[in-house]
A and B are shown apart, each in its own frame.
Chain A
Amino acid sequence: MKLLLPLILFAATLAAQPAPGKVLIERLRRMTPAERQRALARMSPERREALERRLNSLDRIQPGVRDSLQHDFESFQKLSPQEKSEFRRTLRDISELPAERRRIVRAAIHHLRKRPPLLHERILNSHNFTERFSEDERKLIRESLRYLEPLEATDLSH
């Protein structure tokens, strides 16, 4: 009983915090270059430079895209470990497609996210899509749609 109150308070404090990794990324982004260098002192210079490049890239994302990316990332965080693992595999397979196919698969995913989920399967099996995408590509599109939330259909032209 003597430990119950502090444990409850401790749990409440933890529950209020975002995922630790996100907190760490935000802290790193807010640091000055000197502070960041100190924080990352354990890393080899090569690895530290690579990490800093990646953090700087985050800063260069345009606000509209950043909001959308944040939304997708938060949805991703809510997936179960197995779902995350499966989705990571799908994302990896998409990244390994030839550049031209990757662009078109990406465009298809974005298009379908703006269409009602109930229509996805019909669209993927339509003549238009079966002609344009291989079975493997349609599988990748289907798997991506499983884990990505739908988007507002504000602009169906893209």
Chain B
Amino acid sequence: MNCLLKPPEQQALLFRYLAGDLTGETLCSWQRHVASCPDCQHLVQSQENLEAILSSWQPPAISADFDQKLWARIELDRQHTQPWWLRYLSLDWGWRLAVPAALTACLILGFFVLSPAPEVMQAEDIEQVERMLDDLEALQALHPQPEDPRIQDSL
């Protein structure tokens, strides 16, 4: 490749050109460059060909009952995620049962918090663990290593 532009810069300009984002002087400069650069002419042509080919791939129609199924899942999920003890407490038992009910709820909560991990972890919990590990590892990568150079300042 003999173009004076570096490939990622060349491509970035090309994308902007194909998307119609180049205007004014930038557009004129690009057009002048392409007129005199066989590499870029070839790139423009082949990328335009590729765009046309990719555009021919259209997805099938979406199922008519997609939304209906989704709302049904949301409703089911809502019912399952409300803890049974919260449903229990929201019943009209009167204030006489509030204290023992609260204590029972706390004991149950305490049991679930302190007890061993559930048999199978939910997907969201696993993702949360992975995200936390991402952050931990990123912070760990900032910790000094023996091979790091010495830094001094003049102050």
Contacts and interface: CB of A to CB of B under 8 A. Distances in A.
A76 B138 CA distance: 11
Nearest to A54: B133
Contact of B120 (A21, A42, A104): A42
Interface residues of B, number: 51
A157 B144 CA distance: 13
A42 B85 CA distance: 27
A52 to B, nearest CB: 11
B150 interface: yes
A106 B142 contact: yes
B126 to A, nearest CB: 6
A92 interface: yes
Nearest to A1: B95
A76 B144 contact: no
Contact of A3 (B90, B153, B154, B155): B90
B118 interface: yes
Contacts of B123: 42
Contacts of B135: 73, 76, 84, 88
Interface stretch (B3-11, B24-32, B37-45, B106-114): B106-114
B102 A17 contact: no
A61 B98 CA distance: 48
A38 B117 CA distance: 10
Interface string B120-141: 1111011011111101111111
A144 B141 CA distance: 12
18 contacts: A2-B98, A6-B105, A10-B105, A20-B128, A21-B132, A24-B125, A42-B122, A69-B136, A84-B135, A91-B141, A103-B149, A111-B151, A115-B155, A122-B155, A123-B153, A126-B154, A127-B154, A128-B152
Interface of A: 1-3, 5-6, 9-10, 13, 17, 19-22, 24-25, 27-28, 31, 35, 38-43, 51, 54-55, 57-58, 61, 65, 68-69, 72-73, 76, 84, 88, 91-92, 94-95, 103-104, 106-111, 115, 119, 122-123, 126-129, 144, 148, 157-158
Interface of B: 89-90, 93-95, 98-99, 101-103, 105-106, 109-110, 113, 116-123, 125-126, 128-133, 135-145, 147-155
